[in-house]
Structure 1
Amino acid sequence: MSTATVTMSSSQFQAPAGARTRLRLTRRGRAVLTTLASVPLIVGALVFALNGGGALASGDQAHVRFQYVTVESGQSLWSIAEKVAPSADPRDVIASIVSLNQLDTAVVSPGQQLAIPSQYAK
């Protein structure tokens, strides 16, 4: 029997020095690349949307005047609401007075001044 010997040089398996191979992205690689590129854009849009830009305000101030009622001894918000707006529901009037005067509770004390909402003022 005869023996055959094949010798190959390593230069046969390598690409020529000047040739470049093309970059191939898989579907998953494209998804990752797209996500990485779009995340800063989305974050920037959210920051811009939440910031809302500068506020525009005029130097004109609205001069709103309120009618005030001084609480007398024995009066409650219910009696004041009935006195101020007899045709309206006292619960709505009380809620408006509490909101306008920023009261924590519906308890008032004698001598306390309460602003009356403009819709109930005479």
Structure 2
Amino acid sequence: MSAQLAPQALTGANLPIRLTRRGRLVLIGLPLMLGAAALLTLIGFFTAPALAASGTAAPGQAVSVAVSPGQTLWDVAVLAAPERHPQDVIAEIQELNGLPGSIIHAGQQLYIPVDR
């Protein structure tokens, strides 16, 4: 007579976890993406004050003017700071107003740097 063991039924607690390729990707990729997002947020948080502090003029150091018909950015720069070279003043005006070029329109409001 030989003894035979009856096969045991696997219950939910005994089953081994088997992940598909997609499951492994989610299990590894999701924490990596969350970690990268947290890292980028921290980098942005710590560099934003430094970028804001490096501006050429604070809000109290600029005045707003309206562009007159026929006026160019050169004319505005000469009127704003006659003792300085117009190209330097134009560069500051472009930076203060976020202008990509030198085109301005009549009635446009521009921030002009105040003499230092």
Shorter-chain TM band: 0.3 to 0.5
* TM-score, length of structure 2 as denominator length: 0.48
Structure richer in helix, relative to its length: 2
Based on CA coordinates, which of the two structures has the bigger radius of gyration? 1
